[in-house]
Amino acid sequence: MSSVIAFVGLGHMGGPMAANLVKAGHRVIGYDLVDDSLAAAAAAGVERAASAAGAAKDADVVITMLPAGRHVLALYQDQGLLAAARPGTLFVDCSTIDVADARAAHEAAVAAGHRALDAPVSGGVMGAEAATLTFMAGGGEAEFAEAEPLLSAMGKKAVHCGSAGAGQAAKICNNMILGISMIAVSEAFVLGESLGLSHQALFDVASTASGQCWALTVNCPVPGPVPGSPAGRDYRPGFAAPLMAKDLGLAANAIREGGVDAALGLSAAALYEAFAEGPGAEQDFSGIVRAIRERSVRPADQTGTPA
Ligand code: NAD
C-alpha cells in the first residue's frame, strides 16, 4: 500500500533513502535546511516542501534522518513538527542519537497524540543508495509492523529490538563492539610488526582462529590480506572515523548514565575522539592503526639509537 511520507533531513543518508521510497511507489514530501540537498532529492522524485512542518501536515508517516538528538528534539518540539502533523501520525526517527534523546523524542510524540519508532541504521551511504541498510527498531509491535514495508523499501533487514530507545541501544552496543575490535586488531598488527611477524602470517592465523572478527576479515586495517579493505586505498572511507567517534561518544554517555563498568568502551571512545579530531578526520576508522603505530616506541628508540 502506498503512503504519504514526510522525509526531513535529506543529506548523505536521507537523500538516497527518500529516493528509494519514491522508487517503491510512495509519495514523498521532503525538507532539508540545505537547498542543494533538497534539489538533489527533488531530481529523484521527492516533492519539495517549504518547511519541515509543511512536509508533515499531510503525511501518514514522518521520517527524520538528522545529525544528532538535539536536532530531532528541536524539530519535533520548537520547530513545530509534532504540532503540524495529523493526530496519530507515525514518527520514525532513523538518525543515530542518544538513547535518552530517543526516549524523550518518543515521549514527546506520544504526548502530542502521535506514535513513534526509533529506527537507526547500519550500512552507510552505499547501503542507503543500494537499499541494503539494516534497521534496528525500538517501539511498539504495531508501530514496527506499520513501518516495516517502508523500512524494507530502504533496506534489506529490519530487527524489532524492543520498546522506545531499543533500536538506538542496539546500534551503539554493536558499534562499541566494532570500535573496540578494530583497536584490538590494529594493536595486534602493530605488536606483530614489532615482533617481526608479517601481516599476512598474522592474518592467516587469526582469521581462522579465535581472533577472527569483522574488523579483521572484512575491514582489515593493514593493506594486503583483504583486497578491497579501506587500507588498500589509503584509508578512504568506508566508515569514516568521525562517525565511529560519534557512535562511541553515544555509547560512552550511556555507559556513564547506566554506571556500567565498560573500561574498553570508554577507552575506545577516547581513542577515536582524538583520532577523528586529528589525522582521522577524513579517514576510514581502520586508519587508527597508523595512529597506534606512530605512537609506538620501537626498541631502537628506547635505547636512544635512531630508529
Ligand atoms: P548529513 O549531515 O549528510 O545529513 C543530515 C541532514 O540533516 C543535512 O542535510 C542537514 O541539512 C539536515 N538538517 C539538520 N537539521 C535540520 C532541520 N532542522 N531541518 C531540516 N534538515 C535538517 O548526515 P548523514 O551522513 O546523512 O547522517 C544522518 C544520520 O545518520 C546521523 O545521525 C548519522 O550518525 C547516521 N548514520 C550515518 C551513516 C553514514 O555513513 N553517513 C551511517 C549510519 C548512520
Q: What crossing angle do the helices spanning 141-154 and 14-23 adopt, rounded to 10°?
A: 90
Average pLDDT over residues 197-221: 98
pLDDT digits (tens, 9 = 90+) for 155-173: 999 999 999 999 999 999 9
- The band of 302, judged by pLDDT with boundaries at 50, 70 and 90, is very low
- 57 an active-site residue? no
**How many Å apart are CA 135 and CA 121, to the nearest integer?**
5
Residue to substitute in 12, 125, 175 for testing ligand 1 pocket (most ligand atoms within 8 angstroms of CB): 12
Active-site pick, 57, 156, 171, 246 = 171
Average pLDDT over residues 65-82: 96
C-alpha cell at 186: 590494529
Q: What is the largest CA-CA distance in the chain?
A: 73
How far is CA 229 from each of CA 218, 224, 273, 290, rounded to the nearest angstrom? 7, 9, 22, 15
**How many Å apart are CA 83 and CA 57, to the nearest integer?**
9
Q: Which atom of ligand 1 is nearest to the CA of 34?
A: 11
Q: What is the pLDDT of residue 299?
A: 53
- The band of 305, judged by pLDDT with boundaries at 50, 70 and 90, is very low
Answer yes or no: is pLDDT of 307 > 90: no
**How many Å apart are CA 117 and CA 103, to the nearest integer?**
10
DSSP 159-191: EEEESTTHHHHHHHHHHHHHHHHHHHHHHHHHH
The answer to pTM > 0.85 is yes
- The count of other CB atoms within 10 Å of the CB of residue 125 is 15
Residues having CB closer than 6 A to ligand 1 are: 8-14, 31-34, 37, 52, 65-67, 71, 75, 95-96, 121, 124-125, 243, 246
